[in-house]
Structure 1
Amino acid sequence: MPPVAPLPFLPDAVIFDMDGLMLDSERAINTCMASAARELGHALPDSLWLKMIGGGDGLCRRLLTEQIGEVAADELLLRSEALYDAVADAGIDHRPGIVELLEWLVARGIPRAVATSTRRPLAMRKLDAAGLLPYFDAVCTSSDVPRPKPAPDVYLLAASTLGVEPGRCLVLEDSPTGVRAALAAGMTPVQVPDMLEPDAAVRALAHRIVPSLADAQRLLEAQLVTG
């Protein structure tokens, strides 16, 4: 991986995606979707679940409807949601480095918000069960905005809630959809890929891509020293 450019500033706020960035939930979601499909007798390719990453409820429903029809898609989603609820309530594993990064930001008084494509009730349950909710000053979800990612709405809401200009916000994202949303909001995204490696089209966005949250923290630490 080529060297990553330093951050252009020490951000006034850091905004976090949730699934796949802070929580190892993309794998859990995919497992529940595949299990529900098998239970209901649908032979669907694993590549379908990867296409859903970062896209929210609307994209998942559309992709499933294209494959198996509207009625069957709704049935599959209901079953997978029931399976996933049990996983979420038990507490989804953290992605490596998330607690260390959050504690570093808290210690320096840098405001923090969540901006997620998940609906509010489930997002709050997941963050609470995983022990991450106390670290955040605001939680913004797809329930709170008219358009999901890749529209910028949820990121703009997070900045407004924190009282920070969008251009002074750093965004941490795992998915290409989220990166596009952050760029559309006029923010500086750093992508930490999880299940989807950035392809040529994503790399052409010319944003920063790092292999881990620890590397994202090092970018911030360097800016604190030089900025």
Structure 2
Amino acid sequence: MTARGLPFTPAAVIFDMDGLMLDSERAIIGCLAEAAREAGHDLPEVLWLSMVGHSEAVCRHLLDEAVGEAQRELILQRSHVLYDAVVAAGVPHRPGIIAMLDFLQTRGIPRAVATSTRRPLALKKLAASGLLPHFDAVCTSSDVEHPKPAPDVYLLAAHSLGVEPAQCLVLEDSPTGVRAALAAGMYPVQIPDLLEPDDAARALGHVILPSLDDARQLLEQQLAADSLL
């Protein structure tokens, strides 16, 4: 659905990282595909896309089914080397993220990251891309028992900011993340990247927008309406 307006004024905004703020999904898939080809496996794009938004454990399982455990380890080890080089250079931003963060910071709205990436890599990616100083809290899969689509990392982010979950706006790119935000009792807005929402995702009834610029405009409209009250 498209948005006619937010039903509330968020007390905080919580961001997914990969595919939402950083153009890392393409980089990750590219590194995995290259590593697989080097190992003699020309795997279909649909396999890589099926990993988007999922935890490392899920991705490992999908690779196990495709090539077996031994080959999976070889592919992952090589892909990590390739991806480390990408991260060190600074993963490119998704369009509109700096304008969104500047908008929120100017208005004093707290911001947190809630990502399925493990903490050391998440901090490295955020720092190398110049985004880390924009956030009041960074919550990762290292910090919680259950990864997305469980609500744990989003609930931790709200707690870290001192904000009730129902007062949080979540920005996500994947259906898995949207389900996690909904399970946490938050209000998700999805900005799809590599995966267009399927019928099951659309049935969740959340707001889906083309870009972060559209999401920022939605927030601007809400804050402008508040100022008239």
In the comparison of the two structures, how many residue pairs are matched? 226
Q: Once the 2 structures are TM-superposed, how far is the Cα of residue 43 of structure 1 from its aligned partner? A: 2.2
Residue pair 2:60, 2:72 contacting (<8 A) in 1 also? yes
Residue pair 2:2, 2:207 contacting (<8 A) in 1 also? no
1:21-100 map, 5 Å: 21-100=20-99
1:166-221 per-residue CA deviation (whole Å, 9 max, x = no partner) reads 00000000001000000000000000000000111100000000000000001101
Q: Sequence identity of aligned pairs in percent?
A: 68
1:195-210 map, 5 Å: 195-210=194-209
TM-score after normalising by structure 2 = 0.97
Q: Once the 2 structures are TM-superposed, how far is the Cα of residue 71 of structure 1 from its aligned partner? A: 1.4
1:1-227 map, 5 Å: 3-227=2-226
User: What code does the residue aligned with 1:211 have?
Assistant: P
User: What code does the residue aligned with 1:70 have?
Assistant: E
User: What code does the residue aligned with 1:46 have?
Assistant: E
| Cα distance in structure 2, aligned partners of 1:225 and 1:5 | 14
1:103-135 per-residue CA deviation (whole Å, 9 max, x = no partner) reads 000000000000000000000000000000000
| Cα distance in structure 1, aligned partners of 2:6 and 2:129 | 29
1:14-58 per-residue CA deviation (whole Å, 9 max, x = no partner) reads 000000000000000000000000001112111100000010211
Aligned residue for 2:113, secondary structure, equals: strand
Q: Once the 2 structures are TM-superposed, how far is the Cα of residue 226 of structure 1 from its aligned partner? A: 1.3
| Cα distance in structure 1, aligned partners of 2:164 and 2:137 | 15
User: What code does the residue aligned with 1:34 have?
Assistant: A
Q: 5+ unaligned residues in a row in structure 1: which ranges?
A: none
Structure 1 segments, 4+ long, off by >6 Å, are none
Aligned residue for 2:153, secondary structure, equals: helix
| Cα distance in structure 1, aligned partners of 2:140 and 2:112 | 11
Residue pair 2:2, 2:208 contacting (<8 A) in 1 also? no
Q: Once the 2 structures are TM-superposed, how far is the Cα of residue 5 of structure 1 from its aligned partner? A: 3.1
Alignment root-mean-square deviation, CA: 0.8
Residue pair 1:5, 1:208 contacting (<8 A) in 2 also? no
Residue pair 2:119, 2:140 contacting (<8 A) in 1 also? yes
TM-score after normalising by structure 1 = 0.98
